[in-house]
Amino acid sequence: MTGVDVEQLDLLPPAKVPKVTERDMLDLLNGRYHKDYANGPRYVGAEHVRSHAGFGAQRTADYMAMDLWPGVPYGSKIALHGHEVKVSRSDWLTELKTPEKAEEFKRYMDYWWLVVSDPAIVKPGELPEGWGLMIKSGNAIRVKKAAPKLDPLPMPKPLMACLLRAVSKTAKRGVA
């Protein structure tokens, strides 16, 4: 015996599990998408893409990733992925009540993803049509439900300007 009174173990406070933040999730997305290859990176990423250039922006897409590689033999084609990051159930429920927030960006994306820190954030049947689901798994992001290929509208230049600005800001952080 080690001399530990087993009954006193119940008196110890429970171990604190660190709360996962949006920053943690963005770092995981950057890790997922930012890999260099011989001919250059496959993806370029952008955090916090605003809906409009200037001071009129009312909405922000949490993350966008542009697949820079053409189709065969690489298994995909040049495509833009949009991501909505959620780290709490209450934030997800708010998102469900305001679908126009995601739609402002989703209509220009080839794929749209919900990215959650905990699978309990989104309940079965809640994922809107046209969305894929990614879940934090250890120190990575895994696809739980593949996003369907969407039929995007052409991106307007003001949104493209916001995307390029966000790519630049993300790159300055050393991750684009």
For the chain, percent of residues with pLDDT exceeding 70: 85
Give tens-digit pLDDT for 26-55. Answer: 999 999 998 877 778 889 999 999 988 877
* 72 located within any domain: yes
- The answer, yes or no, to whether residue 166 has pLDDT greater than 60, is yes
* 14 located within any domain: no
Return the bridge partners of 79, or none.
67
* 117 located within any domain: yes
How high is the pLDDT of residue 34? Answer: 85
* 80 located within any domain: yes
Quick check: helix, strand or coil at residue 169?
Answer: helix
How high is the pLDDT of residue 3? Answer: 61
Both tokens of 65, joined, read 């990733």
- Strand ordering across the sheet containing 140-145: 43-50, 60-67, 79-86, 111-116, 132-137, 140-145
How high is the pLDDT of residue 72? Answer: 56
How far, rounded to the nearest angstrom, does the alpha carbon of residue 115 sit from its chain's CA centroid?
5
How high is the pLDDT of residue 161? Answer: 93
Q: Token match 């954030």: residue?
A: 121
Range of the domain at 86: 19-172
**What phi-psi label fits residue 50: left (phi over 0), alpha (psi between -120 and 50 degrees) or beta?**
beta
pTM of the model: 0.85
Q: Token match 């049509």: residue?
A: 129
Give tens-digit pLDDT for 96-142. Answer: 999 999 999 999 999 999 999 999 999 999 999 999 999 999 999 99
Question: How many distinct structural domains can be found in the chain?
Answer: 1
